[in-house]
Amino acid sequence: MPPAAADLTIRPAAAEDLDEVLTLVRELAEYERMADQVTFDDVTFGRHLFGPDSVAGVLLAECGSEVAGFALWFRTFSTFLGRPGIWLEDLFVRPAFRDRGIGRALLADLRGRTEGRVEWAVLDWNEPAKAFYRRLGAAPLEGWEIFRWPPAGGAAPA
């Protein structure tokens, strides 16, 4: 793997980054073949990330003046560990910036933000992502499946 970009910066996103974050989410949805599932309202999305009662955070990876990728995350808590952790909801590096250590840098920053564990889900078909995570020492949880309840009043997931 080539060394990380010399001009790489990882920083928390701010309200003025909302348009870029929304663009990254849409690019991720395209990559994951789920663009038709992106139904958020931009204002509501921004309020949940940057409002007074924000529920999630975003890290941006920048190479020079260009945004190369992002990690969207939120806090969790493990009753067994008795410690807070992080759920990584999305990790995405734009194709032109891949293989430069940017995903690794985003994950390292996240890991430094908690004394607990960092967890995430991976689409079953995404072999490049699974191989990347295994190279970092992460492993799938055996015996666990993810269940989802739709938003109140929403349709059950397909």
Which domains does the chain carry?
Answer: 8-126 (3.40.630.30)
Main-chain phi, psi angles of 58, to 5 degrees: -130, 135
To the question of pTM greater than 0.85 for the whole model, the response is yes
Q: Which two tokens stand for residue 52?
A: 């007074």
CA 138 remoteness from chain centre: 15
- 75 vs 3, 90, 112, CA distance in Å? 30, 13, 13
50, 92, 97, 133: the active-site residue: 133
Q: Which amino acid is at 91?
A: L
**pLDDT, averaged in runs of 10, over the chain (158 residues):** 72 98 98 96 98 97 97 97 96 96 96 95 91 92 86 66
Q: Which two tokens stand for residue 32?
A: 């994951």
Q: Which two tokens stand for residue 5?
A: 């970009």
Main-chain phi, psi angles of 149, to 5 degrees: -105, 130
Please, are residues 1 and 99 in contact by the beta-carbon 8 Å criterion? yes
Helices (H), ranges, 32-126: 42-50, 102-111
Q: Provide the 8-state DSSP code for 20.
A: H
Q: What pLDDT, on the 0 to 100 scale, is given for residue 19?
A: 98
133 in active site: yes
